[in-house]
Amino acid sequence: MEQVTSMAAERPVVIFSKSTCPMSFTVESLFLEFGVNPAIHDLDQLPSGWGHEIENALSRLGCNPSIPAVFIGGKLVGGTNEVMSLHLKRSLIPMLKRVGALWV
């Protein structure tokens, strides 16, 4: 759990994903289109055992499904549904500006 918290604080936007997950790709693409440079941690690309441990920690934090998991400003926002909901409510960009992920 402590490892997830530490990794989630390394940039304004941090995404835990899997390289083969289409929902992860969708969320990552959304942030990249905005011009955000998120830290992306592909759990299936991490050294043996780490990805599974992090995925379990994300589940314990309430991520269901555990991937993708998006942190903004070090706080868990959620997965694809939560990110898209914030975007449709026009809340995502102001949130990204508040944490310094967007300057526009």
Is 19 exposed, middle or buried (CB count within 10 Å of its CB: 0-12, 13-18, 19+)? exposed
Quick one: pLDDT at residue 13? 97
Q: What is the pLDDT of residue 104?
A: 64
CATH of the domain at 78: 3.40.30.10
pLDDT in tens, 29-83: 999 999 999 999 999 998 878 888 999 999 888 887 778 999 999 999 999 999 9
pLDDT at position 65 is: 79
Residue 68 lies in a domain: yes
Enter the tokens of residue 80: 């694809």
Lowest mean pLDDT among 2-11, 68-77, 94-103: 2-11
Number of separate domains in the chain: 1
Is there a domain that residue 103 lies in?
A: no
Q: Which helix (H) or strand (E) holds 71?
A: strand 69-72
Q: Give the pLDDT of residue 64.
A: 78
In angstroms, the Cα distances linking 99 to 45, 72, 96, 103 are 27, 7, 5, 10
Q: How many helices and strands in the chain, by DSSP H and E?
A: 5, 4
Residue 70 lies in a domain: yes
pTM: 0.92
Q: Is the pLDDT of residue 24 over 80?
A: yes
**Does pLDDT of 99 surpass 90?**
yes
Range of the structural domain that residue 29 is part of: 2-98
